[in-house]
Every structure is written in C-alpha cells, then in structure tokens.
Structure 1
Amino acid sequence: MRGDNLTDIKKIREKRGITQKELAAKLNVSPSTVSQWENGLRNPSLVNVKRVSNILHCTTDELLNSVGGETDES
C-alpha cells in the first residue's frame, strides 16, 4: 500500500550516523532507492529489510513497524 513508509529507516540510519549514500552502497542499491523507501514511494523487498536491519543493528520488527503492502525488489 502506497503511503506507508519506512520512516524508521531514516530515524535509525541517522541515529547510527550513516548517510543514505553509505547505506545504499552497503546494500548495492542507488541512494534514490533508499530515499524512496524513506519517503514511502517504494517498499524494500523482505531480503533488503533483513539486510538493512543487519547494517543498522536493529530488528526487522523495528523497520516493519510502519510498513504494509507491496514491496519492490530494488
């Protein structure tokens, strides 16, 4: 469902001192993809949610708390 987003990615990412560009590089996606996730334009695949949780040292539940609906594979 569009409109839901992973605003928690942004909060946690900023708390960890990681830029969108750095997170994108670690995930092998573009910085615009990370931005789209954070702004609710797209949702990451479940594989990428798991990868983000590992990079940001948080649980997938923390990230999925604000997400619902479709996912994109990028």
Structure 2
Amino acid sequence: GEIFGTRQSGVPRLRYYGFAGEGTRLLVAARDAAQRLLDEDPPLRRHPEVRAELERRLEVQAVYSADAG
C-alpha cells in the first residue's frame, strides 16, 4: 500500500460521497497549513511532536522500500 497515500494493501477501495465540496477545502487548508509550518520552521524544532511523527513515518517507509528492492 501507500504509506502517505489513501490506498493500503488488503483494504478494499471505498467510494467517498460528498467529499468534493467541503472535504476538498479541508484538505487544501491542511496542506497549506503544513506547508506554512515547514516554511517557517524547516527542521521542526518548535514542533517536536510533528517531527517525531514524520520521522516515524519515514522510517516505516524506508523499511518497506528496502523490503521491496
């Protein structure tokens, strides 16, 4: 499956209804907020919880990538 995506192995594809309007705006707002956070604090020193979660996810992704090779 995709580590940062919406598809995971073993999980059936689901259709999301009513997502195009408010849901899309919410995703765009979240993406923009994340980008601002990284622009203002690239090493995430002021946001240690976010940094720890990103490091955890990247570590998991590296393990999956190594297994795939």
Task: Report the TM-score, using the length of structure 1 for normalisation.
Answer: 0.29
Q: Over alpha carbons, which structure has the higher Rg?
A: 2
Relative contact order (alpha carbons < 8 A, sep ≥ 6): 1 or 2 greater?
1
